[in-house]
Amino acid sequence: MTPRARRLTPVAVVAAAYLGLMGLGALAPALARVLDMALPFFGLIGLGFACGRLFDTGDAIGGAGLKWLNIFIVYLALPALFFTLVSRTPIHELANWRFVLATLSATAAAFVIAFAIGWIAARGDIAEAAIQGAAGAYANVGYMGPGLTISALGAAAAAPAALVFVTDTVFLFTAVPLAMALARSDERGAPRAALHALGRIAVHPFNIATAVAVAAAAFAWQPPPAIGRMVTTLSGAAAPCALFALGVTVGLRPFGGLAREAPALVAIKLLVHPLLAWTFLTLAGVTGTWAKAGVLMAALPPALNVFVLASQYGVYVERASNIVLAGTLASVFTVTALLWFLA
């Protein structure tokens, strides 16, 4: 197979899956309504993936462009989206501790299960197991979560989506550095690693925007009209840019095949994690839109941050990239099925 054919093959797979779902939607009107809601999001990822495969020149200019797009998304567009949605939510809805504990418990349980599988597959290598634990528990709650959840469930899903993002990020950006500190005796040690991780979480733009939005909701404050319109414009660009950038980033990664543990990790992320979320939310007595939002956020594919963490520690890098790609492709079917079920 020629290099160009190898580059086009994943694009053809994505296109075939997309067209196949559209064909199913044409046969079933109820499914068509769900696909009309879900496929635009996966379509943006697919367009980014295709562009990454087709137009990658391998030079520094393309990488710099993607870097600036990600800066726009992480530091401006998504924080604006979180602020816009959360600041307009009544403060009593944000203090839903049963929801927080239930979704956090589901994420922690998925991490422990995936970590155990990774520990066995890696023959006791804690560092690799930590990345595999993240692959099984870290959903794409930043790039993909808010837009899809709010599109599916309405503006009332903004608060639970933001809470899931904050709690999952705090947990996973603490658990993985702690595991790495335990795995490497030359590191700064588990307590200092945890403090360092918490410091990074505290200054993350998503979390800062959410904290400011919670304060704004508590005091019923909204920015001046001119700033408010700018924030609204930025928030409108968040989901399209984030999903396209996700597709490009995954498309630029070489696909060298899946590790033997990859199917199990993808299954934990796409099937076990949402089932755990549903179980814990039911036990906590959370119902309605909040319960649906918690399950949907848990059902999202592995986040690109799994690859980022692997690259940061130099562990499981290529296999993490392949799991993100495989999970994203499989989620076209699993997330669409869940949306149909929730509808």
pLDDT at residue 19 in the model: 60
Comparing CA positions, the residue from 65, 19, 60, 61 lying closest to residue 42 is: 19
Q: What is the percent of the chain where pLDDT is above 90?
A: 27
Tell me the C-alpha to C-alpha distance, in Å, between residue 317 and each of 127, 173, 305.
12, 17, 11
How much is the pLDDT for 208? Answer: 83
127-159 pLDDT, tens digit per residue, is: 899 999 999 999 988 778 887 888 888 888 888
Report the pLDDT value the prediction gives residue 224, as an integer from 0 to 100: 92
Identify the pLDDT of residue 60.
Answer: 57
CATH number at residue 159: 1.20.1530.20
Q: Taking 70 as the threshold, does the pLDDT of residue 217 lie above it?
A: yes
* pLDDT tens figures, 325-341: 889 888 888 998 898 88
> According to the model, what pLDDT value does residue 342 have?
82
The whole domain housing 134 covers 3-342
The per-residue pLDDT for range 21-62, each reduced to its tens digit, is: 556 555 556 666 677 777 777 788 888 888 887 887 666 556
For 156, list phi and psi in degrees, rounded to 5. -65, -15
Supply the pLDDT for residue 29: 62
Q: For all residues of the chain together, what is the average pLDDT?
A: 81
Q: How confident is the model at residue 71 (pLDDT cuts 50, 70, 90)?
A: confident
Q: Residue range 177-205: average pLDDT?
A: 69
- What are φ and ψ of residue 154, in 5° steps? 95, 175
Q: What is the DSSP string of 245-310?
A: HHHHHHHHS------TTHHHHHHIIIIIHHHHHHHHHHHTT--HHHHHHHHHHHTSPBPTHHHHHH
> Given this model, what pLDDT does residue 229 score?
94
In the chain, the number of structural domains is 1
5 pLDDT more than 60: no
Confidence at residue 59, expressed as pLDDT on a 0 to 100 scale: 63
Residues across the chain: 343
DSSP 44-105: HHHHHHHHHHHH---SHHHHHHHHHHHHHIIIIIHHHHHHHHHHTS-HHHH--HHHHHHHHH
Provide the token pair at 340.
């149909």
What's the pLDDT band for 197 if we cut at 50, 70, 90?
low
- Given a cut of 80, whether residue 320 has pLDDT beyond it is yes
* C-alpha 175, offset from chain centre: 17
Return the pLDDT at 175.
Answer: 83
